[in-house]
Amino acid sequence: MPMEDQKEIEKLRSELNEHNYRYYVLAAPIISDAEYDHLLNRLRDLEKKHPELFSPDSPTQRVGAPIQAGFSEVVHLTPMLSLANAFSEEEVRAFDAKVKKLLGHEVGYTIEPKVDGLAVSLRYSHRRFFQGATRGDGERGEDITLNLKSLRDIPWDLPEYAPQEVEVRGEVYLNKADFERLNEERLDKGEAPFANPRNAAAGSLRQLDPRVTAGRPLHFWPYAGSGLRGITTQYQVLTDLEGLGFLRPNGLPDFLQNRLIRNIDDALALFKIFNDRRHEVPFEIDGMVIKVNSLKDQEALGFVGREPRWAIAYKFPAIQKTTILKDIQVQVGRTGSLNPVAILEPVEIGGVVVSRASLHNEDEIERKDIRIGDAVLVQRAGDVIPQIVMPIKERRTGEEKLFQMPERCPVCSSHTVRLPGYAMRYCTGGLSCEAQLIERLKHFAGRRAMDIEHLGSQLAKSLVEKKLVQSIADLYFLNKDSLLTLERFGEKSADNLLESIEKSKERPFSKVLFALGIPEVGEVTAKYLAEHFMSIDLLGRASLEDLEAVPGVGPSISESILQFFGEAHNQNVLERLAQAGLNLQQRAKKQRPLDGLIFVLTGRLERFTRPEAQSRLEALGAVVSSTLTKKANFLVAGAESGSKLEKAQSWGVPVLEEEELLRMLDESTSSEETSPHVTVDLKGRS
Ligand SMILES: [Zn+2]
């Protein structure tokens, strides 16, 4: 029955697309690879049977992750409106009076928090989520369906009893704690931090690669729904949406519950609670929304311009104030980043005295043209660190000073450096800078670095805090007596630690190099560098050109290495590590009789196959090449050798016959067994 086949094809395509998405974007597949293959094979068979149903969009025609280039445009079913704002009790009372006058009767309101996020629209057809869009200009938004699918708060399917076609609108937001974490990660990677959770949410949502969005813990807060059945009030809309699977986070403070109030006085009383307790909310809210509860009343009230007459956003009081920027100090983060901090004339903002504010990085200071002594506008957004919005240039007296990032680390006085492509400036004294020491020790002792088994993060912290370790090299000069002064640290622990430190001296040069934690030098780069330069001395003396000649080493890594070795503090530490007996040079590889000699094979060999010949040659250190150049040391010519033999003869490349090759292999093998360092006398026939 072709009709049934067609249905199955469609079903399989849609299922496979979903599994692809879960696999490639969410990295959270729900079926095994075998099950996936089974579905895909079934689809292939059906498509083969019905070539007329071919589709270029079929999962059988695509490999790998779905890729979207840019966002396509979505026209909203009804415009996505913005709300009128109120900043005072009078404005709220005026709103209430106007509503009652227009309707001619008393009204009830709903109260909802105004979540500071990004408004989006979600559309469901046949109870499936099929389209998600940003607000855009209110009429048209961007199609971000794939990105929205990665939000756990957004159900892909509505329950059986839900209407066929539903639209849900709400805010996408990021929790404050997740925002802080995200910014820390960005700083670690040398990226500029987001200014606030809202920007971070917007940046995360409008990613062209949905995998990036999927990696960010975004949430959804619903506030409107259309297409719902048997609904007459906004309050019912909110409860109905919860029933459809749009759940609110657990553990929210009680004042955020859906709420119905009978008059505007209740709203004003609630607003005070919202404002006083907003810090208890895990995400940013910037006020509360008052909506006329009856949908019929809403319809009767209609709109004025872009704003509905039936709702108003009552915003929290201004959180910006003006004060004087007294100084800019620099703090050193645990990764060595230099973070400028504004020292302010203390000012009360929204009930809290603010005396410090974040300035992010030097570009930000330059971009905003912030000078020491400026009058500045400071903003406090919830629990997020206060920020300087802008300087008030009109109030300048000419006494203001330009700020410059220090060339020396304020903690350890090492040089500071800003690598190409980085937003932050870093301290280069990584081996001894106290601000970075705990993190450095943890990295140094890590399994992939020096593998010091008994040095965990708690111990690293104690060692630094008790000043037993003030640079990485101090580890190798620890003694048992001083270790026993640590709290809850007994004989056994001390012995174990000292033993594992001793054992780490056997780690190869490449691991030591990685353990040093030179910015940008990861495990693989360390290995290449070790093989290329063979010793820390030669690496330390390398020029920019020398460094860039190493595979995988670009300008940024080279610059970082130069800075590291140029720092006297680091040189001291390296000297002490050498004293301690660490491997600071590459151990020579065992020499083999044919090391580095280039062989080219041609013609037909009688006594063994070509792969056999090749593997025996390679086992003795030879390089077997398929093309003949003048650099070749030998051409092995079997029977019926053609043009290569002629070329070799004309270039003077020694030619070996098969018998000679065999003899050479035998001699080399026996010489290797008896005395590995003797290189056999290799004479070819010219
Ligand atoms: Zn430092």
Classify residue 683 as exposed, middle or buried by CB count within 10 Å of its CB (0-12, 13-18, 19+).
Answer: exposed
CA of 509 to the centre of ligand 1 (A): 25
Give me ligand 1 centre to Cα 1, in Å.
75
Q: How much distance in Å is there from the Cα of 415 to the middle of ligand 1?
A: 8
Residues 7, 49, 114, 189: which is the catalytic one?
114
Buried b (16+ CB within 10 A) or exposed e, 368-399: bebbbbbbbebbbbbbbebbbeebeeeeeeee
Tell me, in angstroms, the distance from the centre of ligand 1 to residue 543's CA.
24
pLDDT band at 188 (very low <50, low <70, confident <90, very high): confident
Give 336 Cα–ligand 1 centroid separation in angstroms: 6
Write down the pLDDT at residue 309: 93
* Spatial separation of the C-alpha atoms in residues 189 and 424, rounded to whole Å: 9
Please give the distance, rounded to the nearest whole angstrom, from the Cα atom of residue 331 to the centre of ligand 1: 10
Ligand 1 center from residue 179 Cα (angstroms): 27
432-488: per-residue pLDDT in tens? 788 888 888 988 999 889 999 889 888 998 999 899 999 899 999 999 999 999 888
Report the distance separating Cα 443 and Cα 521, nearest Å. Answer: 13
CA–CA dist 295, 141 (Å, integer): 25
CB 554, CB 638: distance < 8 Å: no
pLDDT bracket for residue 25 (50, 70, 90): low
Of the candidates 386, 47, 451, 385, the one whose C-alpha atom is nearest the C-alpha of residue 184 is 385
The region of weakest confidence among 171-185, 188-202, 224-238, 326-340 is 188-202
Residues whose CB falls within 8 Å of the CB of residue 197, separated by 6 or more in sequence, listed in order = 116, 117, 173, 174, 175, 176, 179, 283, 284, 384
Domains of the chain with CATH codes: 2-61 (1.10.287.610), 106-303 (3.30.470.30), 320-395 (2.40.50.140), 416-580 (1.10.150.20), 598-674 (3.40.50.10190)
Rounded to an integer, what distance in angstroms lies between the CA atom of residue 375 and that of residue 323? 6
Question: What pLDDT is recorded for position 444?
Answer: 93
DSSP 8-state code for residue 268: H
Q: Which residue has the higher pLDDT, 629 or 170?
A: 170
For the record, the structure tokens of 683 come out as: 């004479």
Known catalytic membership, residue 114:
yes
Q: Cα(512) to centroid of ligand 1, in Å?
A: 21
- Report how far ligand 1's centroid is from the alpha carbon of 433 (Å): 4
Cα Rg, the chain, nearest whole Å:
35
- Pairing mode, if any, of strands 634-637 and 655-657? parallel
Compute how many other C-beta atoms are within 10 angstroms of the C-beta atom of residue 322: 13
Measured distance CA(134)–CA(119) in Å, rounded = 6
Contacts (Cβ under 8 Å, ≥6 apart) of 311: 83, 84, 289, 290, 291, 292
Average pLDDT of the chain to the nearest whole number: 86
Q: Quickly list H helices, 534-653.
A: 536-541, 544-548, 555-566, 568-580, 610-619, 643-651
**Amino acid letter, 169:** R
3-state helix, strand, coil in the chain (%, to 5): 40, 20, 40
Pairing state of beta strands 634-637 and 352-358? unpaired
SS (H, E, C) 120-178: EEEEEECCEEEEEEECCCCCEEEECHHHHHCCCCCCCECCCCCCCCEEEEEEEEECHHH
In angstroms, how far apart are the furthest CA atoms of the chain? 113
Q: ipTM higher than 0.90? A: yes
Sign of CA dihedral 488, 493, 497, 498: positive
The DSSP secondary-structure symbol of 585 reads B
Name which residue leads in pLDDT, 56 or 267.
267
**Cα–ligand 1 centroid distance for 411 (angstroms):** 5
